[in-house]
Amino acid sequence: MMVLSYALAKRSGTDYETLLRERLFSPLGMSDTYVANRPPNVSVAQGHLSNALPTGPWDFPVDMAGVGGVRATLPDMVRYLEGELGIRESAITPALERTQQQITNVGGHTMGMNWFISTANGHTILTHEGGTGGYSSLVVFDREAKRGGVLLSDTALYDMGGLGIIGKHLLDPSVPAGAPRTIVDADLGLIDALVGRYRLSSGLAMELRRKGNALTVQADGQPELEMGYDSAGDFYPLKIGALLRPKRKADGTYTFTWFQLGGASEAERIGTSAPVAPTWTPTEAQLKEYEGNYPLTPTFALRVFSVGAKLFIQGTNQQSLEVASAERDIFVADTVGAELDFERDGDGKVMALTLKQRGQVLRSERN
C-alpha cells in the first residue's frame, strides 16, 4: 500500500493527500480527514499501547500514507461508510462499489480491494481493520442489508486480535462480543514450563525466566522486561506494546507466538525443553466420556467424537481434526493452536469444555 500510494501520487503529478482530497474526501463530504495538514477545528486523541501506556502516533511520508497514514473523525468515517453502502450518492459511488468485488484469495481469505469478504448467516460481510501506533480502527458492513459499523479506538489492539469481534457483534447481536480482558495471576506451572531460550521466526532470540511469581522476557541486546498475565491466557510486557501467547503442544511442552507492531512470530525452543509430566494415554472407553455437542456461540458448536483410540473435534461447517491428550481432561490440536479443557461435575461426568485459541476463551456446557 505504501508503494501503491507513492505510484498514484507520482502518476497524478500531485501529492497523495491532495489526490485523496480531490478524488475521495471532497466527493463524500469528508472535510475533517487529512494526512499531514490537520484542519484547525480537529483535535488529536492521545494514543495508547495495549497495556494502557501512552504512545505517539506512527507518521508516514505523505506519498506513502496509503499504508495507514490517513486521520479521520468519526462523522467523516460515517460518511465514508455511507458511500460504501451506496446510501450517500456521489460521483465516486460506482468506484467504491467496484472495490468490494472479489479479486483474489489470500491465505484462505476472500479479498476485494483490501476488503476481507466473508459469509455469515447468508449475508456477505466486508471488513477492514486498521492499526497504527496507539490506535485501532474498523469498518464492517453488509451492503445488501444496508447495515454497517465504524469503530475508532485510542488504543493499539492489533496484538490482541483487534476490533473484529466487536464489529461482527454490531452487525449481528447473536454473535458474542467477547469478554473484557482482566489482570489475573498466571499459574506457576505454566511459567516454569515456558522458561527457556527461544528463537523467533523473525530471527530474534529471547529468553524467558521466572522471577518470583512473574515471567520475564529478555531479547538479545535488550533490557529484561517483567510481564503481566490476563484472563485470555496471554502474557504481556508491562513497559512495551507486545503480547506473548503460550501454545501447548501434544507432548506437554510449551512454545509461544510473539505479537508486536502488527506482526506475529512463532517461537522455537533452543536446547532442551522443560521437563513435563508423562503424557496421559486414555483408553477407548475413557475417550467416549468426552463425546457430545458443545455450542460455543449461537452459530458455532464443536462436535466431539472418538474413533477407536483417537479423539476428534469438528466445528460447524468445518473439517474434523484429531486432538492429542496432553494430560487428563486436556487435549490440544497443534495444527490450529487450540487447547480443549474439559470439566467434570461432582460425579466425575464430563459436563463442559473450554476452548482456548487465538486469545479467545470460550466455554460451553455439553448438550
Domains, the chain, in order of start with CATH, read 2-171 (3.40.710.10), 188-270 (2.40.128.50), 284-365 (2.40.128.50)
3-state secondary structure of 27: helix
Q: Tell me: the pLDDT tens digits for 349-360?
A: 999 999 988 777
What is the C-alpha separation between 242 and 23, in angstroms, rounded?
Answer: 37
Asked whether residue 276 carries a pLDDT value surpassing 70, the answer given is no
pLDDT in tens, 107-139: 778 999 999 999 877 889 999 998 888 999 999
pLDDT given at position 158: 80
Q: What does the pLDDT read at residue 248?
A: 86
| Direct distance between the N- and C-terminal alpha carbons of the chain, in angstroms, rounded to an integer | 48
- pTM of structure: 0.75
pLDDT at residue 279, rounded to an integer: 65
On whether the CB atoms of residues 32 and 79 are closer than 8 A, the answer is no
Q: Which residues contact 222 (CB under 8 A, 6 or more apart)?
A: none
| 219 Cβ contact partners less than 8 Å away, ≥ 6 residues apart | 204, 205, 206
Answer whether residue 95 shows pLDDT above 90: yes
Note the pLDDT tens digit of each residue in 159-203: 887 898 899 888 888 777 878 889 999 999 999 999 999 999 989
d(CA 130, CA 67): 9
Strand order in the sheet with 292-297: 292-297, 300-307, 310-315, 320-327, 330-333, 338-344, 350-357, 360-365
For the residues 135-153, what does the mean pLDDT come to? Answer: 95
Using the predicted structure, report yes or no on whether residue 33 has a pLDDT greater than 80.
yes
- The mean per-residue pLDDT over the stretch 251-255 comes to 83
213 DSSP assignment = T
- Cell numbers of 278, please? 508423562
* Residue 275 confidence class, pLDDT cut points 50, 70, 90: low
Note the pLDDT of residue 120. 79
CA atoms within 13 A on the CB side of 318: 15
DSSP for 320-334? EEEEEEEETTEEEEG
Q: How many CA atoms lie within 13 A of 140 on its CB side?
A: 23
Helix ranges (H only) for 219-308 are 284-288
- The larger pLDDT score, comparing residue 360 to residue 52, is at 52
Alpha helices in the chain (DSSP H): 2-12, 16-20, 26-28, 74-85, 93-99, 164-171, 188-194, 284-288
Query: Which pLDDT tens digit goes with each residue over 278-324?
Result: 567 899 999 999 999 999 887 788 999 999 999 999 988 888 999 98
- Does the pLDDT at position 103 exceed 90? yes
The pLDDT value given to residue 292: 94
Greatest mean pLDDT among 9-13, 53-57, 272-276: 9-13
Average pLDDT value over all residues in the chain: 91
What residues have CB less than 8 Å from 273, skipping those under 6 apart?
Answer: 196, 253
